[in-house]
Amino acid sequence: MKITHYGQNTLSIEIGSFNILIDPFITQNELSKDKVDIMQLKADYIFLTHAHFDHTLDAEAIAKNTGATIVSNFEIYNHYAEKGLEAMPMNHGGVRDFEFGRVKYVNAIHTSSFPDGSYGGNPGGFVITAEEKSIYISGDTALTMDMKLIPMQTKIDLAILPVGDVVTMGVDDAIIASDFVECNRVLGVHYDALPFTKIDHEEAKAKFNKAGKELILLDVGHSINV
């Protein structure tokens, strides 16, 4: 799996010939809007963790441009299916097999309304297993004991966790989350894009190092392999 970060929780995951886009939020993100052209992004699937604007803003435009199928909880699925877009429902605890691998929709502690205030179901995260590796994308969440359930079933090779604090976990709780999911390699997301989520990158990495863990913070458009 090749994972590219486009800011906030926007990720592109390349698995063989498939491209999975997570939580596209680019055209109003000051950190990525001039660097990324959403019309150039490839997507076979768009996975949405929850309905907040900083996760769904560009989903409709990219789905229309690429023909990608939107995958999320039942309420978000419905929202896009009613617009005539390709969409597939999942919900908490559910596993679904795709051509590229297997996906589980897991619990998150957060909220999930659309920008107009309409109900976006409950927020979640995704465990994606493909090419004999598994990644955990927590989505926006607090630290929660439910994370301990994940390694009971799946060995996680990379945990993608928010570290920006204020509206999600911050660095200190993300370190504990990485203990809970039993994965010491963490890709930090959901920082710097909002004025109140600016973090000190070096200090955050040093805290992870001190705990015997690695925190990866990618510049917009940069990638890692799992």
Site residues, Mn ion (CB under 5 A)? 52, 54, 140
Residue number with CB closer to Mn ion (166 or 206): 166
- Distance set, CA 148 to CA 105, 152, 153, 159, 181 (Å): 15, 7, 10, 13, 6
Q: What torsion, rounded to 10 degrees, do the Cα atoms 161, 126, 23, 110 define?
A: -70
Shortest Å, Cβ 129 to Ni ion: 25
Residue number with CB closer to Ni ion (108 or 130): 108
Shortest Å, Cβ 155 to Ni ion: 28
Q: What torsion, rounded to 10 degrees, do the Cα atoms 181, 186, 191, 196 define?
A: 50
Q: In this structure, are residues 55 and 114 in contact, taking their beta carbons and an 8 Å threshold?
A: no
Residue number with CB closer to Ni ion (137 or 226): 137
Shortest Å, Cβ 52 to Ni ion: 4
| Residues in contact with Ni ion by the rule CB under 5 A | 52, 140
Nearest 5 degrees, angle CA 124-CA 75-CA 194?
50
Alpha-carbon torsion (163, 50, 196, 4), positive or negative: positive
Q: Binding partner of residue 23 among Mn ion, Ni ion, none, CB under 5 to 8 Å per kind?
A: none
d(CA 145, CA 207): 21
Shortest Å, Cβ 110 to Ni ion: 5
